Amino acid sequence: MDIFSHFLGGLQIALQPANLFYCFIGTLVGTFVGVLPGIGPTAAMALLLPATFHLNPISAVIMLCGINYGSQFGGSTTSILVNIPGETSSVVTCFDGYQMARKGRAGPALGMAALGSLIAGTVAVVGLMLVAPSLAKASLRFGAPEFFSLLLASMLMVTYLVSGSMLRAIMMVAVGLVFGTVGMDIIAGAERFTYGIPQLKDGIGVFPLALGLFGVAQVLEAMGSSVKTEVLGGKIKGNWPNRQDWKDSGGPIARGTLLGFLMGVFPGFSPMLATFMSYSIEKKLSKHPERFGTGTIEGVAAPESCNNACCTSGYIPLFALGIPSNSYNAVLLGAMTLYGLRPGPTFIAMNAKFFWGIIASMYIGNVLCLILNLPLIPLWVQVLRIPATLLSVLILIFCFLGAYTINYSVFDVAVAVTFGLFGYLLKKYEFEPAPLVLAFILGPQIEMTFGQSMIMSDGSLMIFISRPISAFFVLLALTIIVTGFLGKRAFAKQLKESPEV
Summarised one tens digit per residue, pLDDT across range 289-323 is: 888 888 888 888 888 898 888 888 888 888 988 88
What value, to the nearest 5°, has the Cα angle with vertex 412 and ends 409 and 414? 115
The pLDDT value given to residue 255: 92
Over residues 375-386, mean pLDDT:
72
pLDDT band at residue 356 using 50, 70 and 90 as cut-offs: very high
pLDDT per residue over 410-429, tens digit each? 999 999 999 999 999 988 88
What mean pLDDT do residues 229-238 have?
A: 56
Percentage of the chain beyond pLDDT 90 is 9
pLDDT of residue 232: 55
pLDDT at 361: 92
Q: Which residues pair with 184 in a beta bridge?
A: 191
- Report whether pLDDT(88) > 60: yes
Environment class of 455 (CB within 10 Å of its CB; exposed 0-12, middle 13-18, buried 19+): exposed
Going from N- to C-terminal start, the domains of the chain cover: 2-497
Numbers of helices and strands, H then E, in the chain = 23, 2
Q: Write out pLDDT tens, residues 437-458.
A: 888 888 888 888 898 899 888 8
pLDDT at site 270: 64
* C-alpha–C-alpha distance, residues 39 and 424, integer Å: 14
Q: If pLDDT is split at 50, 70 and 90, which confidence band does 230 have?
A: low
Whole-angstrom distance, CA of residue 58 vs CA of residue 384: 32
SS3 192: strand
Q: Does residue 191 sit in helix, strand or coil?
A: strand
pLDDT of residue 16: 92
Distance CA 46, CA 317 (A): 21
> Which of 17 and 240 is assigned the larger pLDDT?
17
The answer, yes or no, to whether residue 106 has pLDDT greater than 70, is: yes
What pLDDT score was predicted for residue 161?
60
Please tell me the total number of residues recorded for the chain in this structure.
501
Radius of gyration over every alpha carbon of the chain, rounded to an integer in angstroms: 22
Beta bridge partners of 183: 192
* CB-side neighbour CA atoms (13 Å) of 223: 13
Nearest to 102 by CA among 285, 236, 274: 236
Confidence of residue 160 (pLDDT cuts 50, 70, 90): low
* CA separation for the pair 268, 288 (Å, rounded): 33
Question: If pLDDT is split at 50, 70 and 90, which confidence band does 493 have?
Answer: low
Judge whether residue 21 has pLDDT over 90: yes
Question: Is the distance from CB of 124 to CB of 313 less than 8 angstroms?
Answer: yes
Reference 429, options 221, 127, 252; nearest CA is 221
pLDDT band at 269 (very low <50, low <70, confident <90, very high): low
Whether pLDDT at 226 is above 60: no
pLDDT category, 485, cuts 50, 70, 90?
A: low
**CA-based nearest residue to 233, from 73, 385, 390:** 385
Task: List the alpha helices (DSSP H) in 199-242.
Answer: 206-211, 217-223
| CA dist 8 → 12, 24, 361, 461 (Å) | 6, 20, 11, 47
Of the listed ranges 339-343, 355-359, 485-489, the one predicted with least confidence: 485-489
pLDDT value at residue 23: 92
pLDDT at 244 over 90: no
pLDDT at 24: 92
Q: What is the pLDDT of residues 38-48, one digit of tens each?
A: 677 777 887 78
Task: Report residue 194's pLDDT band, with 50, 70 and 90 as the boundaries.
Answer: confident
Taking the C-alpha atoms of residue 260 and residue 164, their distance in angstroms, rounded to an integer, is: 21
The DSSP-derived string for 422-474 is HHHHHHHTT--SHHHHHHHHHHHHHHHHHHHHHHHHTT-TTHHHHSHHHHHHH
For residues 476-492, average pLDDT: 66
The rounded distance, in Å, linking the Cα atoms of 145 and 400 is: 40
- Candidates 363, 121, 370, 120; CA nearest to 256 is 120
How would residue 488 be classed by pLDDT, with cut points 50, 70 and 90?
Answer: low
Sign of the Cα pseudo-torsion (412, 418, 422, 428, in order): positive
pLDDT at 18: 92
Strands annotated E in 102-143: none
Mean confidence (pLDDT) of the chain: 82
Residue 501 in 3-state DSSP? coil
Which pLDDT score is estimated for 233?
Answer: 52
**Residue 238 contacts residue 107 (beta carbons within 8 Å):** yes
Q: So what's the pLDDT on residue 1? A: 47
